[in-house]
Structure 1
Amino acid sequence: MSKENVAGTQLGLLKDYVDLHAKELFRLCEANRAEPEWFTSTVRPAVKLFQGWNPAVCQSRFFANREAFLKLITWAELVRLMNTTRVAVKTAQGEHALFPQFAELRRKFMWAKEQYNKEKKTWQTNQSGVLGCEKMALDMVKPATDTHFS
């Protein structure tokens, strides 16, 4: 149970980091009317932050210290945030409110999902053949894919 709690805390830290950086990126996006560079501004620093910590501390069966896993959950959180922001803007300003398309964000998220699905096949599973971090990955991907921004 404590390893699950640690993984949950790690996920919370990653989400907080993404949330903080995404708000600034969204503000710049609104000002410039251009899609921001999500990877260099948020994804890469988040992944490097977690990889820079002691791997023995970061590595658990629930929270993989693998680049494909970290990228997937970071992209998923960005997509979830933009979906949530879009709904809030449309609710506050009406259905015809202008909102950026974020096509590149969605494309890179789907690419990260494909990469994760390819790479996870080579990772060690438990005795039942289950990859421990898969539940966390699915829990992050589901909200990002359940909503759609247009």
Structure 2
Amino acid sequence: MGWFVGLAIWAWLAWACLGNASPLAAQTRPPADYANVQLRDPAQEAQAAALMATLRCLVCQGQSIADSDADMAGDMRALVRRRVAAGESAEEVRDWLIARYGDYVTYDPPVSAVTLPLWLTPLVLLAIGLWIARASFRRRRGHE
């Protein structure tokens, strides 16, 4: 029975090392044009870089597309640079990305019926905290 377990472990290791190597290698691809290459015009590059810092990576979610190494972020950086190089303003590119990916793509979502709870929740929680603290201080003051 021991030799069977050993054989099974060796088979699994062979599958893990050899069997998965080609699908993983097939998933990697070269970065998109302009993903990691700056635009020739410094003003356009500055405009694109400022916009990329405000856009959220859809894969990483905690990073901007400027900071992320994900393939999707590289594609988005390339898209931003191509559109800016074509003469579109940062606001036009931003609006296009929001229309395509939704408000989640931006770190500064507009106030709407959907995002209103995101804007109001911190204020409500702060008010509740202040109310609880006030009530606690009043009770303490009354017991002394």
**Which structure has the bigger radius of gyration?**
2
TM-score band w.r.t. shorter chain:
under 0.3
- Superposition TM-score, scaled by structure 2 size: 0.25
- Superposition TM-score, scaled by structure 1 size: 0.25
**Higher RCO (Cα < 8 Å, 6 or more apart):** 1
